[in-house]
Amino acid sequence: MKLRELASLIHGEIIGDESIEITGASGIREAKEGDITFLSARKFLKDLAGSGASCVIVSEPLPDIPVAQVKVPNPQLAYAKLLEHFYVKRHGPAGVSADAYISGTAQIAEGVSVYPFCYISAGVSLGKGTVVYPHVFIGEDSAIGEDCILHPNVTVRERIRIGDRVIIHSGAVIGSDGFGYVFDQGVHHKIPQVGGVIVADDVEIGANVSIDRATTGNTMIGSGTKIDNLVQIAHNVKIGKNSLIISQVGIAGSSEIGDYVTLAGQVGVADHTHIESETIFGAQSGAMGHVAKGIYSGSPGMPHREWLKARAVFAKLPELQKKVRELEAKIKELEKEEP
């Protein structure tokens, strides 16, 4: 494909030879001749020199580089489109396999694919264009929207509602029982978990994620929120829109998390925590109580800048202790010298 055609696909302005042939798209370090790549930040400029790319997508033209450039407002977004263009093959709908189990009361819209060994329970509905890969289980009366992808070995329990364009990766479990017990006479009695889970549109759920159903009411994941692998979301949690929940985060029961929140890897959120919108928690930090909008680190979390300073002193605590001992000795000396 000629560069001029590609550039028009991403509405970009060409700087250089528009007639060159582009045969693929790739990250800056892996790109080879014929590839188009992108520059997301100036810190990656050093990688460009060693890159084999024939063309680079930029937001600001670079003065002295030997390869063609395409200028767009958001290079990474343009790159994402080109990855899709070059590499993502859409299969037509595969239909409903005779080797799947489909309840007679399930409602399957047109253009749905259900692969062998899926189990679709009574009262389930699958929206138009949704793809259900092998070994997926969908429990009674659950509703899956349109154009969803359920990867192999996903479990969606009963009475779960999933919106449109939701992607669920392999091993994820939606609607397992919340961890609720009442202690009486020396044993833990199970509290029936009879609520559900509502997953809004455009959510992506990573591999081996667990999202528990509510005790009563619903656990809720807001539209556009993206959840990475191995995340735990407990019963009655509510997450807002367009938040990012990175791998191995654990969110305990009844916590509420706003819109555009980022929880970095391995963050722990205590139960009944409330995190305001646009808040960021750094990796391995802990959240509890009411958390005002801000950036936090440490466990329990504290404002990131304060944590940085405290952490810097922590690393030098032995010196500080030594210093205090020296001062102590000097003061003793001074006290002795007193008349």
Bridge partners (DSSP) of residue 263 are 245, 281
CB of 11 to a second copy, least distance (A): 13
Q: Map the footprint of a second copy across residues 224-253, applying CB under 8 A.
A: 224, 226, 228-230, 232, 234, 236, 242, 244, 246-248, 250, 252
For a second copy, the closer CB: 125 or 307? 307
Please, what is the minimum distance in Å from the beta carbon of residue 63 to a second copy?
25
Q: Give the count of residues interacting with a second copy (CB under 8 A).
A: 107
Instruction: Supply the residues annotated as catalytic.
Output: 235
Q: How many CB atoms lie under 10 A from the CB of residue 25?
A: 24
Q: Which is nearer to a second copy, 152 or 294 (CB)?
A: 152
Task: Tell me whether residue 18 or residue 260 sits nearer to a second copy (CB atom).
Answer: 260
* Closest distance of CB 64 from a second copy, Å: 26
| x/- letters, 206..225, toward a second copy (CB under 8 A) | xxx-x-x--xxx------x-
| Nearest CB to a second copy, comparing residues 34 and 299 | 299
Site string for a second copy, 32-71 (x = CB under 8 A): ----------------------------------------
Residues 6+ apart with CB under 8 A from 333: none
Could you say which residues in the range 128-187 bind a second copy, by CB under 8 A?
A: 133-135, 137, 139, 151-153, 155, 157, 167, 169-171, 173, 176-177, 179, 181-182, 184, 186-187
Site for a second copy in 87-116 (CB under 8 A): 87-88, 99, 101, 115-116
Q: Measured from the CB of residue 132, what is the shortest distance to a second copy in angstroms?
A: 12
Minimum distance between the CB of residue 253 and a second copy, rounded to whole angstroms?
Answer: 10
